Amino acid sequence: MDLFQPDPAELRSLRRDAPVHRDERTGLWLVSRYDDVRAVLADPRRFRPDNALTAVVPIAGPVLRVLARSGFSLPPTLANNGTDTHAALRRLVARFLTPARVAGLRARIAELAAERLDRLGGRADLHPALARDLPAIVLLEVMGIRDVDVAALKGWSTASLELFWGDVTVERQHELAGPAAAFHRWLTSRIKAADPSDEDLFGALRAQGVPVRDAAGLCYFLLIAGQETTTQLLCAAFHAVLREDGLWPRLGEPGFAAACVEEVLRRDPPVSTWRRVTAEPVTLSGVDVPAGAPLLLMLAGSGSDPEVFAEPERFRPGRPRGRGHLAFGFGRHFCLGAGLARLEAEVVLRETARRFPRLRLASLDPPPMLGLLSFRAPLSVEVELGDQHDLAGGGPALQQFVGAGGVGQR
C-alpha cells in the first residue's frame, strides 16, 4: 500500500490480516489495531519517541549543509523527547494551554470566524477563506506571540511539513530547505531577543533557562503542529459533515458540533500516523518485533477498529466512547493542544452553519488531499454558500452563540 496516499479499504485489510508487519519500501513496522497502538503510546520505556520528528526520506548531504549554515537543529524537546527534560518543558508549554485559558478563547474564535465569513458570497473555498490562517492567529495569541507575519508562518510551516513527512526528491528537498531554515533563523532571533520577564512563550523559555538551541527546536514544531493540524481538522470536518444528510442544520444543537468533531477525529484524524522505535524486542499481536525497529502507528486505522467502535465506518456523532480515539495520542505525549483544536473546530463549524444554514459542497467529487506520511486532509473545501441568516443585531446573536455549549460546559 502507498503510505502517503492510503486507501481506507487497504487500512481495513491491514488491520484485519496483517496488524503488525514490516513495510519493505520504508522499513517501517506498521501497527494498526487499536489495542496495539494504545499499548505502544502508553509505554515510553519500551517504545521510545526518538524518531517522531525524523525526516521520512533521509535528507541529502548538500541539503543538510544548507540547514546547518542556518544553525538548524532539532534536539529532543517535546514530541521526540524520551529524556528526563521532557516533563519540565511540557509543563512550561502547558501553562499557556490550561482548560480555563482555552475556554476563554471561545468568543475570540467566533469573532475571527465571523470576520472571515463576512467576506464570503456565492461560492467559496473555505480552506483559504476560513481554515488556513485562523488557527495560526489563535495559536499565536494564546502563546502571547506578537508581530508575526502569518502568511510567512504558513509558508514556513507547510514547507517544513513536506520536508520532514513528504515523499520528496533531493531537488524538492533543496527547495523546501530554504523556508525551513528561514523559520529556524527567525525563531532563534526572536528567542535571543526575548526578555525573561515577557509573558509570551519566548520569554517563558528564557526565564526557565532553556538553551536557545533547545528553545528554537521546541518552538519549531510547536508553532507548526499547533496550527497546521487544526487547519487540516477544519477542512476534514467541513467535508465530513457536509457529506452526511441532515447533519449541517443540526450544528446549532447543544453539543452536536462537538460530537461531530469527535467523529472526524476518530475516522479522519489530521495526524493519521505517528512513529516510535522499539527499545527492546517486543511482541505485538503475536508478531515478534526486534529492538531498534521503527514503528508506524496507524492512528487513522485504529479509530475504525470494529473491536472497539461499533459500526466504525458510520459517521455517528454522540456514539458511545466517542472520545476514546487516539487522534491526539495517549499517555505521556498526549497532544497539549487537544482542547484548543477541539474548541476551534466546534466554534468554526457552529458559526459557519449559523451564518450559512443552506451551505453545501459544490461537488461531491473527492477533493485534492494533502499526502504526507503523518498528515492527511483535504486541501480545498469548495462550497455553495446559499442564503445567509439575517445578522442584524449580530452582537446579541453572537453573544448567545458564544454562551451555548462548549468545552467549558462538557
Residue 225 CA, chain-centre distance (Å), reads: 6
Residue 93 lies in a domain: yes
Contact predicate 258/405, CB 8 Å: yes
Distance CA 175, CA 169 (A): 10
Q: Write the DSSP symbol of residue 271.
A: B
Helix (H, G, I), strand (E, B) or coil at 226: helix
Helix axes 134-142, 150-165, angle to 10 degrees: 100
| CATH label of the domain that carries residue 266 | 1.10.630.10
Residue 2 lies in a domain: no
* Cell digits of residue 50: 526518538
Distance CA 69, CA 384 (A): 48
Residue spans of the chain under pLDDT 50: 390-410
Residue 271 lies in a domain: yes
CB burial of residue 46 (10 Å; 0-12, 13-18, 19+): middle
Query: What pLDDT, in 10s, does the model give residues 134-164?
Result: 999 999 999 999 999 999 999 999 999 999 9
Contact predicate 386/359, CB 8 Å: yes
Residue 257 lies in a domain: yes
Helix (H, G, I), strand (E, B) or coil at 408: helix
Distance CA 190, CA 333 (A): 26
CA distances in angstroms from 242 to 141, 261, 315, listed in the order given: 30, 13, 11
Query: What pLDDT, in 10s, does the model give residues 254-301?
Result: 999 999 999 999 999 999 999 999 999 999 999 999 999 999 999 999
Contact predicate 252/353, CB 8 Å: yes
Q: Which domain holds residue 367?
A: 8-409
Residue 19 lies in a domain: yes
Residue 363 lies in a domain: yes
* Cell digits of residue 31: 501497527
Please tell me the predicted confidence (pLDDT) of residue 9.
86
Contact predicate 171/162, CB 8 Å: no
Q: Is 47 left (phi over 0), alpha (psi -120 to 50) or beta?
A: beta
Please tell me the predicted confidence (pLDDT) of residue 389.
66
Please tell me the predicted confidence (pLDDT) of residue 402.
38
Residue 1 lies in a domain: no
Residue 65 lies in a domain: yes
pTM of whole model > 0.85? yes
What domain count does the chain have?
Answer: 1
